[in-house]
């Protein structure tokens, strides 16, 4: 049998936890290959090596070519890979996550499948946005109204603080440049936040599609989760970028860099991991045990990998 080139597949126990990784890296117009345990990135400006095990999410923009060996390393390292549009504005596809445990996924599916528990989780997420007020008895309609008023206030306060004019949120997903500078910055900032939110959700083994507030979309839970941090992170960053940007500046690039700094400085990845587990009722200190069992409606969980037909033969003799 032909020996495999490059470094051996990394054991999950050797990889960095998602909370300790670099938040995200956006690449466009580059070729990605592999050298040992690093992604070899080559573009018109030269070549750099990116250690695969320390990146949380890799955003691949237009003009990126990826070799099979590079994708193999990304998958083995648990790096979330998403294919996005120019400036990271739209997500088109994604790769496999880090965790092989279904603990969070099963908890999420159980919570979202029951009306009472789903409402409980939705209220819990709204409570995170209103820490000084008890919202445990509010209806979803009332919560949507409170959230709408809060977001409008956040936009207005950011405008007054930075001096950046603000009217309303308008954008065209297929035409980034047609928006005003502040709307361009908000689009780029929110997309970066969506990317990081998506990465945390899938890296921990939860489902991006099983939302509690949003529903009916394969990224419903991503929108749920990202909404927890917009007022604190992406909205202020967008207004600051526009305030300090020079005329004809690349707003998308400046915003991505500012968001990356905000993620690191605010240790957002660590908070997201803790928050996600808390939302789904999992102890934040618990690390999922990656085991495989067989389900039985009468006898409970049964061992995986046992030759049960051989056992039946022994018992019948």
Known binding-site positions: 147, 214, 227
Task: Tell me the CA distances in angstroms from 248 to 86, 159, 177, 255, one per residue in order.
Answer: 17, 20, 11, 14
- Distance (Å, whole) CA 226 – CA 272: 9
Phi, psi of 292 (to 5 degrees): -125, 130
Q: Identify the helix (H) or strand (E) that includes residue 23.
A: strand 22-27
Between CA 272 and CA 308 the distance in angstroms is 42
Strand ranges inside 266-308, DSSP E: 293-294, 302-303
Q: Please report how the helices 181-203 and 251-265 are oriented relative to each other, as an axis angle in degrees rounded to 10.
A: 40
End-to-end CA distance of the chain: 41
At 165, list the tokens: 């004019």
CA distances from 262 to 129, 136, 193 (A): 19, 31, 10
Alpha-helical runs (H) found in 45-114: 68-77, 103-112
DSSP reduced 3-state for 148: helix
Question: Rounded to whole angstroms, how far apart are CA atoms 226 and 177?
Answer: 24
Say which DSSP state 30 is in: -
Q: For residues 41 and 64, what is the distance between their CA atoms, to the nearest angstrom?
A: 10
Under the phi-then-psi rule, with left for phi > 0, alpha for psi from -120 to 50, and beta for the rest, what region is 247? beta
- How far is the C-alpha of 65 from the C-alpha of 39, rounded, in Å? 12
Q: Which residues are annotated as a binding site for Mn(2+)?
A: 147, 214, 227
């Amino acid at each position: 049998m032909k020996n495999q080139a490059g470094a051996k597949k990394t054991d999950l126990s050797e990889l960095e936890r998602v909370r300790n990784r670099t938040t995200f890296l956006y690449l466009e117009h580059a070729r990605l290959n592999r050298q040992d345990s690093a992604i070899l990135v080559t573009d018109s400006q030269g070549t750099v090596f990116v250690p695969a095990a320390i990146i949380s999410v890799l955003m691949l923009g237009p003009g990126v070519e990826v070799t099979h060996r590079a994708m193999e390393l990304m998958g083995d390292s648990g790096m979330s890979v998403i294919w996005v549009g120019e400036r990271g504005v739209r997500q088109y596809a994604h790769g496999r996550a880090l965790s092989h445990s279904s603990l969070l996924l099963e908890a999420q599916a159980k919570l979202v499948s029951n009306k009472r528990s789903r409402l409980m989780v939705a209220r819990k997420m709204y409570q995170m946005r209103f820490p000084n007020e008890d919202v445990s008895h509010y209806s979803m309609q009332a919560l949507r109204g409170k959230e709408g008023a809060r977001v409008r206030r956040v936009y207005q306060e950011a405008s007054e603080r930075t001096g950046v004019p603000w009217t309303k949120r308008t954008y065209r997903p297929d035409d980034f440049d047609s928006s005003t500078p502040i709307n361009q910055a908000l689009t780029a900032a929110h997309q970066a936040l969506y990317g990081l939110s998506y990465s945390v959700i899938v890296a921990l083994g939860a489902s991006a599609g099983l939302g509690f507030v949003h529903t009916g979309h394969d990224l419903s839970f991503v929108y749920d989760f990202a909404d927890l941090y917009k007022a604190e992170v992406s909205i202020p960053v967008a207004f600051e970028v526009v305030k300090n940007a020079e005329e004809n500046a690349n707003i998308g690039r400046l915003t991505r860099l500012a968001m990356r700094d905000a993620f690191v400085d605010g240790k957002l990845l660590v908070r997201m991991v803790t928050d996600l587990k808390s939302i789904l009722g999992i102890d934040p200190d618990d690390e999922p045990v990656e085991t495989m069992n067989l389900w039985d409606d009468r006898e409970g969980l049964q061992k995986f990998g046992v030759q049960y037909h051989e056992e039946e033969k022994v018992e019948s003799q």
